[in-house]
Structures are given as C-alpha cells and as structure tokens.
Amino acid sequence: MASGDAQGNDVGNDISDEIRSWLGDNWDPDLSVRDWWQRMADAGWQFPTWPEGLGGRGLSATDGRIVAAEVVEAGALGPPFSLGQVMGAPVVLQQGSDEQRNRLVPPLAAGLESWCQFFSEPEAGSDLAGLRTTAERDGDEWVINGQKVWTSAARVASRGMLVARSNWDVPKHRGLSYFIIDVDQPGIEIRPLKQMNGQAHFNEVFFTDARVSDADLIGGEGQGWAAAVATLAFERSGLSNRVAGQVVGLPGEKAGVLDRRAGDVVAEPADTGLGSRAFRSWSEIAELADERGRGDDAALRQELMAMRALGKVAAWSAQRARAAARAGESPGSAANVAKLMGSHIGRAAQHLGPRSLGADGMLAGTDAPADGQVTDMVLSVPSSSIAGGSDEIQRNIIGERGLGLPKDVSVDREIPFRDVPRSGGGTG
C-alpha cells in the first residue's frame, strides 16, 4: 500500500491519504469511546500492524507510525493502551495458537479489556527466571500458588500475563510456563501499594489455589521463558515507541472510560497511573523557564541543550533500529539503548524542571506552579529506570548481546531449580 522513495523506503503517502480520508468520514467526537474504538478496530486502523480481522491491516511498523501520527493530527482519540495492547496481544499473535489469537486479541483491539503483567516477585525481579510462583496441572486446568509484586494496574485489569513455575526438576529457565489468567476469581487477592507520588498504581498480588484453563497456556508447557522474553522486548519497544497524544489512559470495562464521550477523553491528559508525563521534554522545560523569567540563565540553557542532544541521540537510535528492521536486519540491542536513553532524559528533566521554577520548585499539589506537575514528574521519574528492567540490566544486555562482552558468571543456570540455594538458606 505504501509507495517507495528512490532508496526503496516506505514513504506511506497512500496510507496517509487513506487514513486521513477515513478519519474525515468517521471521527465523531460525540461517539462513546466504546463505539469509536470498535469502529477503529473493525476498520483495521486501531492497531494497523496487527493482522486483518484482529484490529489491524498487517501494515509495516513504518506505516503503523504514519497512521498513529495522522490520528493525532486529526485530533481523534488514539487507540487503547494497557500492557495487554502493548505486550499481551503481540505475544499471543506471535506465540499463541489460532484459537487463542481469535479469542484473546479482538477484545484488546476494541479496548474492552485491560491486562496486567504478573512477572516480578519479592525475590525475582531482575532475575526473573528465579521466580517461585507455582503452576500445577489439574486435569484441564492449572492451579496457581505464590505471590507477585509491583503489578501495575492490576485492579482495573480483567486478565494478566502470568509466568509460573510448572517444573522444579529442570534448570530455572526451562521450568516456566506462560498463561493468560482471569483476574476476577476467588484465588486472587490484590493489595495496592502506595507510591511516593501519592498514587497507588502498583499492587502486590497473592495467588491461593487460583485457576487457569489449559486453553490459556501460551506456547506450551515449559515454554514460558521464550514468551516472557518476547513480552519484555515488546514492553521496551512499545513503551519507547509511544506517539505523543496516543495514550488515553487505561481501557477496559473496569477503568470507567468506555461509556464516556470520545471527544472529552481526547482532550484530557492521559492517566497512565505512572504520574505526570508532562515536563519530560527539553522544550516543555525551556518554555517553563521562559515563563518564569529564567530563559536567559546561561547555565540552565547549557544543560537544556545537553538534554536536547540526548533526545536527538535517542530519536536517531530509534531511527537506526527502524532502518535495520526495514532492511531485514536485527536491530541488536537498540530497544535496550532506547530504554536507557529514556532513563537519562527522565533524570535530566528531574533535575532541570525544578530549577526552572526556582524556589517554587519545592511546592507540590495542584495549586503549585504548572498545577504541581513538575513535582509530580520529579517523584515519578525514578520508576522509569527500574520498570521493564533496570538501567543496570539494560547495560548488561547491551554489553553481552550488542557488544559481545562475556556474560556474568552464573552458578545456577544448569542445575535443577529445586536444588538452587535460596537467600536466607535452604532450597526448593
């Protein structure tokens, strides 16, 4: 569908024309969010890179970005955004059966569901393969026992991507299975955790004889590590590829957005639960500094330009990864570099936002300058260098996979997980 330029790159003029004309005929701010998202999904514009009939049109990533930018340009409401749309659907599309794709993907495409991610545990975060939540087969079902933590948005999710240990007698990476589990059941208890930005976006989640059908096992028993790694790769690229204006807060029946007027929701800042996304770019902070009469401060200007340079490097790295993907080459550790750059940019914003406000930078709350969003940003930024794999882990991956450096010494990779010593003593 896209036309090519002299170098054979997609330039997407046809796609731009097609989506523009479709939006002209179809975007109606008076529709409910539910009806608008369904209309977008039925037409294949909601997630253009997904397959036809499942909310997409099988377009290339480049064309997908063109469509997303046109939706923003038209002032229309963007697609639903939860971990289900960012990572769940892509993993089911890649590793699920046809039956699973046809059953699990359409509700995500239409924004009828929000999913969460049941990966991290109190003793398994960076070392995810060391997790201890257990899955035991019981006929056509699996019984789940254990605890997860830092589960974002679990209280508005209808399903979760769960990695659990189904075999303790093989090395740690080989005994894991990956399920899509219903959240609303008696065996799952969700307890919110209060954050320093005042929100309670995270949860700890306890599984006590929770049940999941064998039909919701993705990729087969013992294949959970491959699905988990794919999920994390989609998380890194999905979160860093986000187009401004695309995020509309959490979808799904429990989040309360579906029956609102689409035109009202598009005008609101997105509530992703992670704190304000505002004041994370150099231009927003520069504008703030100007407004507060600090635009001529030479030291501040110099640091703002350094922040701008970081942003440019991140954008060029992303461009290089896309060019590699277009040429059929592996993008290497580009998604890890992009995530690391995001952390650097966040920290620069955290430092420069309050400096632009001077002493007022210490104020919090909605009556503080910029509605308190600078302080909210300052308190929310630390999470971005931990979520989805910490900065240190990104550096390890870049070193090992990107630069070919030797791997960390590991003493527990090849022994049965049951025999791996636990911190605090004991095994199993």
- Active-site pick, 121, 204, 235, 284: 235
**Interaction mask 281-320, ligand FAD, x per CB under 6 A:** ----------------------------------------
Q: Quick check: 117 binds ligand FAD (CB under 6 A)? A: yes
The answer to whether the CB of 130 falls within 8 A of the CB of 101 is: no
The two structure tokens encoding residue 360 = 């007022």
Instruction: Please calculate the CA angle 411-415-417 and round it to the nearest 5 degrees.
Output: 105
The two structure tokens encoding residue 53 = 């009939």
Cβ of residue 49: shortest distance to ligand FAD, in angstroms?
23
Which among 149-157, 236-244, 248-256, 300-308 is the span making contact with ligand FAD, rule CB under 6 A? 149-157
Among 85, 151, 166, 197, binds ligand FAD (CB under 6 A): 151
DSSP E strand stretches across 229-283 = none
Cβ of residue 374: shortest distance to ligand FAD, in angstroms?
19
- For the chain, the first-to-last Cα distance in angstroms comes to 55
Among 150, 178, 279, 282, binds ligand FAD (CB under 6 A): 150
Among 62, 95, 152, 336, binds ligand FAD (CB under 6 A): 152
DSSP string spanning 43-71? HT-SSTTSPBTTTB----HHHHHHHHHHH
CB-nearer residue toward ligand FAD: 262 or 379: 379
* Size of residue set near ligand FAD by CB under 6 A: 19
Measured CA distances, 261 to 32, 37, 283 (Å): 5, 12, 31
The two structure tokens encoding residue 88 = 């769940």
Amino acid in position 248: V
Amino acid in position 258: L
CB-nearer residue toward ligand FAD: 33 or 340: 340
Amino acid in position 46: Q
Among 45, 119, 179, 279, binds ligand FAD (CB under 6 A): 119
> Any catalytic annotation for residue 253?
no
Measured CA distances, 53 to 41, 46, 110 (Å): 8, 11, 12
Cβ of residue 118: shortest distance to ligand FAD, in angstroms?
6
CB-nearer residue toward ligand FAD: 232 or 262: 232
CB-nearer residue toward ligand FAD: 44 or 388: 388
58 Rama sector, left if φ>0, alpha if ψ -120 to 50, beta otherwise: left
3-state helix, strand, coil in the chain (%, to 5): 45, 15, 40
Residues 246-275, interacting with ligand FAD (CB under 6 A): 274
Write down the residue that tokens 């187009």 correspond to: 243
Among 120, 177, 240, 350, binds ligand FAD (CB under 6 A): 120
Which among 114-122, 138-146, 221-229, 357-365 is the span making contact with ligand FAD, rule CB under 6 A? 114-122
Residues 359-418, interacting with ligand FAD (CB under 6 A): 383, 386-387, 389-390, 392-393, 396, 408
Cβ of residue 150: shortest distance to ligand FAD, in angstroms?
4
d(C-alpha 298, C-alpha 260), whole Å = 47
d(C-alpha 123, C-alpha 131), whole Å = 7
Residues 186-215, interacting with ligand FAD (CB under 6 A): none
d(C-alpha 329, C-alpha 426), whole Å = 45
The answer to whether the CB of 141 falls within 8 A of the CB of 129 is: no
Binding-site ranges for ligand FAD (CB under 6 A) = 116-117, 119-120, 125-126, 150-152, 274, 383, 386-387, 389-390, 392-393, 396, 408
So which residues are the catalytic ones? Answer: 235
